[in-house]
């Protein structure tokens, strides 16, 4: 397959005459000239043109081993994807997807149970806090009423005494109308 040094020089000179520039990709040609893909293309051109002057004669069998088909090229990315999708079709991929979905569903159910339990605890503790606040308010109101009922009015001016009497009457009426009111307390 190797070209004679003279043939290569002649080809380079002819290229320079045609294009008025030197061949910039000679290093690439040096690498690719012995590759199967290049050799197959050259042999196709040689067969189609009947080995004309433009195509150099190449001994394809020597460069490829003993057969013109050569070793099988690796499959491309797209072909590999097609093979993978057709061979695995719905088998393991589908079962894996189903397993993942089931796991997600179980996780969601567990999360909902935990949140529900937390909400119940929160509701219970909230009810306790409300009861405590209500009791505190009752105690504050009782303390206020006690202060009003026990206030000495001798040191107060006329307006303050009227206000104190009105507040005492209001307290007494509220307790008289309250069914839980016990005069013993």
Identify the pLDDT of residue 2: 57
Residue 85 included in any domain = no
- Whose tokens are 């093979």? That residue is 83
What confidence tens digit (pLDDT) does each residue in 88-98 have?
665 666 777 78
Residue 185 included in any domain = no
Side-chain half-sphere exposure of 178, counting CA atoms within 13 A: 10
Identify the pLDDT of residue 89: 60
Identify the pLDDT of residue 184: 52
Residue 144 included in any domain = yes
What confidence tens digit (pLDDT) does each residue in 114-154 have?
998 888 888 888 888 888 999 999 999 889 888 888 888 78
Last residue of a domain, one of 52, 68, 84: 68
Residue 106 included in any domain = yes
117 and 169 co-located in one domain: yes
98 and 173 co-located in one domain: yes
60 and 107 co-located in one domain: no
64 and 97 co-located in one domain: no
Over the chain, what is the mean pLDDT?
A: 79
167 and 102 co-located in one domain: yes
Residue 56 included in any domain = yes
Cα–Cα distance, 19 to 149 (Å, whole number): 119
What confidence tens digit (pLDDT) does each residue in 35-68 have?
888 888 888 887 887 654 454 544 444 444 444 4
Torsion of CA 78, 82, 88, 94, to 10 degrees: 80
56 and 114 co-located in one domain: no
Residue 29 included in any domain = yes
Residue 86 included in any domain = no
Q: What is the domain extent for residue 105? A: 93-177
- Whose tokens are 């993942």? That residue is 100
Torsion of CA 26, 27, 28, 29, to 10 degrees: 50
What is the tally of structural domains in the chain?
A: 2
Burial zone of 164 (CB within 10 Å; 0-12 exposed, 13-18 middle, 19+ buried): middle
């Amino acid at each position: 397959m190797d070209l004679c040094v003279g043939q290569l020089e002649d080809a380079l000179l002819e290229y320079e005459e045609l294009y008025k520039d030197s061949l910039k990709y000679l290093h690439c040609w040096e690498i690719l000239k012995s590759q199967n893909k290049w050799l197959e293309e050259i042999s196709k051109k040689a067969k189609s043109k009947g080995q004309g002057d433009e195509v150099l004669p190449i001994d394809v069998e020597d460069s490829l081993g003993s057969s013109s088909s050569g070793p099988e090229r690796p499959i491309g990315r797209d072909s590999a994807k097609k093979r993978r999708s057709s061979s695995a079709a719905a088998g393991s991929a589908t079962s894996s997807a189903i397993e993942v979905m089931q796991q997600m569903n179980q996780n969601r159910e567990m999360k909902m149970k935990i949140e529900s339990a937390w909400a119940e605890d929160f509701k219970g503790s909230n009810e306790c806090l409300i009861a405590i606040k209500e009791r505190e308010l009752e105690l504050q109101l009782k303390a206020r009423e006690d202060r009003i009922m026990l206030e000495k009015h001798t040191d107060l001016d006329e307006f303050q005494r009227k206000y104190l009497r009105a507040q005492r009457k209001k307290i007494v009426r509220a307790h008289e109308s309250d069914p839980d009111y016990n005069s013993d307390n």
